[in-house]
Amino acid sequence: MIQDISDLVTLFPDASPTPGDCVLSLNREEKVALAPWTQVSTATIPLVRVGERTFFLGATPGVELGTTQQLRALPEPGLRFGAFCALHLAKWLLTHRHCGRCAAPLARAKGCLKCPECGLETYPTIAPAVILGLTHRGRLLVTRYADRPYKGPALVAGYCEVGETAEETCRREALEETNLKVTDVRYFASQPWGLSGSLLLGFFGEVEDPAALRLADGELSVAEWLAPNELPPPPDAAGALSLTAAMIEAFAKGSVR
C-alpha cells in the first residue's frame, strides 16, 4: 500500500528548500500541484520530510493545478506518500488559521498550531473511516462511486460518527448504501490516506441476504457480486496502493478467511 516505504518520515521538519525538494500548491477548490523546488518557487511551510526530500507548502509559477487524484500517479513510492502526507497537512493548515476558542490567529508550534492569546493547542485532524468488503458465499461486492473524481473499483465505505465503533460504522454504512445487513465483521488492515485526511480501517463482513441489495443513498452507481477470478486489477499502475485495492487483491488470492 502507499504507506509501505522504507524512508523515514518526519512531520513539520525544520528545513529550508534545497534542490531535490518539492513544493505542493493547493487552492480553495482543493486543486493541487506538486513540482520540484526551483529558485522561482515560493516555499512557505515545510510540511513533511520523506528520506532526504522535504515537501513544502507554496507555489510554483506556470504549474497547472489539477485534482488530487493525480498524486496517485507519481512515479516513486516515497514521492507518492510524501505528497499524500503533505496534502493532508496543507489542507489542515489552510482551514485552521484562527483559534476556535478566542478567534486569534494561530501560530505554528512543534507538531501543532498554538494560540498566542489563550494557549489552545490544535493538532492535525485525522478522520477515522471504514472500508468494508461485503462477502457472500465466496463472492465480493464491488462498487463504483456515482459522483466522485475516482472512477475505479470501490468497496462500501464511510466515516465513523461520534459514539460509534468502527464495527458499528460498517453495519450502518452497509445498510445505508446497499440495504444489506452484515454479520461477522472482521478486521483486515489500516491505512493513512492523505487525499481525504483519513485513517482508513479495513474490514470484511458476511451478508445475510444478498437479494436485499438496493443502492439507496445515491452515493454508488454500480454494485455487483464478483467471484475471485472476476475481480478487477488495481486501478493504479504501481499496484495496490489503496486499502481498497489491497482488500480486493487479497480476496482474489484467497487470503481472506
Spatial separation of the C-alpha atoms in residues 247 and 217, rounded to whole Å:
24
Domains assigned to the chain: 9-94 (no CATH), 98-123 (no CATH), 127-252 (3.90.79.10)
DSSP the chain: -TT---S-EEES------TT-EEEEE-TT--EEEEE--TT-EEEEEEEEETTEEEEEEE-TTPPPB-GGGGGG-SSHHHHHHHHHHHHHHHHHHT--B-TTT-PBPEEETTEEE-TTT--EEPPP-EEEEEEEEEETTEEEEEEESSSS--S-B-EEEEPPTT--HHHHHHHHHHHHH---EEEEEEEEEEEETTTTEEEEEEEEEES-GGG----SSSEEEEEEE-GGGPPPPSSTTS--SHHHHHHHHHHTT---
Q: What string of pLDDT tens digits covers the 257 residues of the chain?
A: 999 999 999 999 999 999 999 999 999 999 999 999 999 999 989 999 999 999 999 999 999 999 999 999 999 999 999 999 999 999 999 999 999 999 999 999 988 999 999 999 999 999 999 999 999 999 999 999 888 778 889 999 999 999 999 999 999 999 999 999 998 999 999 999 999 999 999 999 999 899 999 997 778 888 999 999 999 999 999 999 999 999 999 999 998 87
pLDDT of residue 255: 86
Pair 85, 194: CB distance under 8 Å = yes
Here the cell at position 72 is 496517485
Give the pLDDT of residue 24: 97
211 in Cβ contact with 122 (< 8 Å): no
Query: How does 59-87 read in b/e, with b if 16+ C-beta sit within 10 Å?
Result: bbeeeeeeebbebbebeebbbbbbbbbbb
